Amino acid sequence: METILTVCAIVVTLAFVALVVQAILTLQQVRHTAQAVEYLALNADGKLTALDPVIGAVKSVTGAVSSGWFKIAQSVYGLFARD
C-alpha cells in the first residue's frame, strides 16, 4: 500500500511540474503577444490617418445604399418576391 502511495505522489508531483512548466511557457507567449500588440498600437496611429479618404468613400457609398433608391429597389423586389 505504501508503494502505491509513493507512486501516486510521484505522478502527482510530475504532473504539477509539467503544469507549472506549461503555465510559464504560456505566460511568456502572452507577454510577447502583449508587446507586439503594444508596438502595433503605437505605430498604427500614423498609418490609420492615411486611410481617412478610404473611410470617407465607404461612408458615402453606404449613405447612397441606404438612401431612397435602395429603398425603392427593396420595395419593387418585395412586390415580386414570393414568401
Task: Supply φ then ψ for residue 81, to 5 degrees.
Answer: -80, 140
Asked if pLDDT for residue 83 goes beyond 60, the answer is no
Percent residues over pLDDT 70 in the chain: 90
- pTM reported for the whole predicted model: 0.50
Question: What pLDDT is recorded for position 60?
Answer: 81
CA-CA-CA-CA torsion sign (55, 56, 61, 64): positive
Tens digits of residue pLDDT in 15-48: 999 999 999 999 999 999 999 999 988 888 777 7
Which pLDDT score is estimated for 43?
82
- Grouping H, G, I as helix, E, B as strand and the rest as coil, residue 18 is helix
Residue 1 C-alpha cell reads as 500500500
Q: What is the pLDDT of residue 29?
A: 97
In angstroms, rounded to a whole number, what is the distance separating the alpha carbons of residues 28 and 31? 5
